Structure 1
Amino acid sequence: MKQVNKFYKDPKWMAKRIRILKRDEYRCKECLRYGRSVAAATVHHVIPLDQRPDLKFNSDNLISLCNKCHDKMHDRTNNKLTKLGEQWIRRMKAEK
């Protein structure tokens, strides 16, 4: 867990995070699916960093989310993806 926390303080990640938020116009991609325009503050790894560290800077694996939607992607009790988080993986793979 320490390694992950260190990653999010890395200047390279911080710059990438800003690029993704700009790409997504600072709007939550999940909320946009339902026609809602909600400000995004978080950049989410669709395939989690601990599962695929090689995708940590891959733009195709990153989406902007509001905090509420980001919390819906993870079960915070066991740090696993929720069904919604798994749906995003399937959606991402289907787009390729």
Structure 2
Amino acid sequence: MYNKNLTDSDELSRKSKALYNSKDWENIKVMAFERDNHLCQICLRKSRNTKANLVHHIIYVKSDYEKALDLDNLMCVCSACHNKIHSKDEKEVFAGEEKQKNVRVIKV
């Protein structure tokens, strides 16, 4: 679906490691948590308020490194949902929600 033809190389591993240790990543994570009200976006779709503790790349860094710091490519999730995303096929996790992936909660 979103993450076909993943590339895996030493160069990408070095770039990813540098990304996750960068100030830019720290800044964009803060922005994502604030945008999503620190709530897991998957749980929220199931009417559950669960605190998010991770920021997930919708399109993986291995699929498109250019989207690594794109706020629209990030979603806040709890550890349980993040594990489900990575342990199952994405189609199962996001079943029927293709149009809702970019829906965000707005603080009032």
**TM range, smaller chain:** 0.7 to 0.9
Q: Where does structure 1 lack aligned partners over 5 or more consecutive residues?
A: none
What's the TM-score, normalizing by structure 2?
0.70
The 1-side partners of 2:47 and 2:38 are apart by 15
Partner residue of 2:48?
A: 36
Let me know the Cα RMSD of the aligned residues: 2.5
The 2-side partners of 1:88 and 1:73 are apart by 15
Q: Which structure is larger by alpha-carbon Rg, 1 or 2? A: 2
Secondary structure in structure 1 of the residue aligned to 2:50: coil
The 1-side partners of 2:23 and 2:56 are apart by 17
Select 1:83's aligned residue among 73, 84, 91: 91
Could you list the runs of 4 or more consecutive aligned residues of structure 1 that deviate by over 3 angstroms after TM superposition? 80-93
Secondary structure in structure 2 of the residue aligned to 1:74: helix
Say how many residue pairs are matched: 90
Deviations 1:70-91 (A, max 9, x none): 111113xxxx854346659944
Answer 1 or 2: which has greater strand percent.
1
Q: Which moved more, 1:66-75 or 1:34-43?
A: 66-75
Structure 1 residues 5 and 81, CA gap change in structure 2 (3 angstroms): farther
1:4 and 2:12 correspond: no
Secondary structure in structure 1 of the residue aligned to 2:56: strand
